[in-house]
Structure 1
Amino acid sequence: MDHDPMHDLPMTAPVIDRDGPERDAPRWLETLLADPATRVLELLGDRSPLRPDRSLALRSPTPADADTLLLYLGRHEGIAHVAACRPFPPKGGPSREERLDSAPFASLREVAAELPQAHAALFATALGLANWHVRHPRCPRCGEPTDVVSSGWVRRCPHDGSEHYPRTDPAVIMAVTDDADRLLLARNIGWPEGRFSVLAGFVEPGETIAGAVIREVGEEVGVSVRDVRFVADQPWPFPASLMLGCTARATSTELTCQPDEIAEARWFTREEFRHELAEGYARAAGRLSISARLIEGWLGHRLDELG
Structure 2
Amino acid sequence: MIFDTHLHLIDQSALRYPWLSGVPALNRDFSHDEYAVQARRAGIEGALHMEVDVGPADIEAETSHVKALSQQKDNLLRGAIASCRPEEPDFAAYLERQKANPFVKGFRRVLHVMPDELSEGALFRENIKRLAGTGLTFDLVVLPHQIPKAIALADLAPGVQFVLDHCGVPDIKGSSEHPWREHMAEIARRPNVVGKISGVVAYADAGSWTVETLRSYVEHTIECFGWDRVVWGSDWPVCTLGGGLATWVAATHALLAGASVDEREKLLSANAKRLWRL
TM range (shorter): under 0.3
Larger % of helix: which? 2
Query: Given the two structures, how large is their TM-score scaled by the length of structure 1?
Result: 0.26
Give the strand-richer structure, 1 or 2: 1
Q: TM-score, normalised by structure 2?
A: 0.28
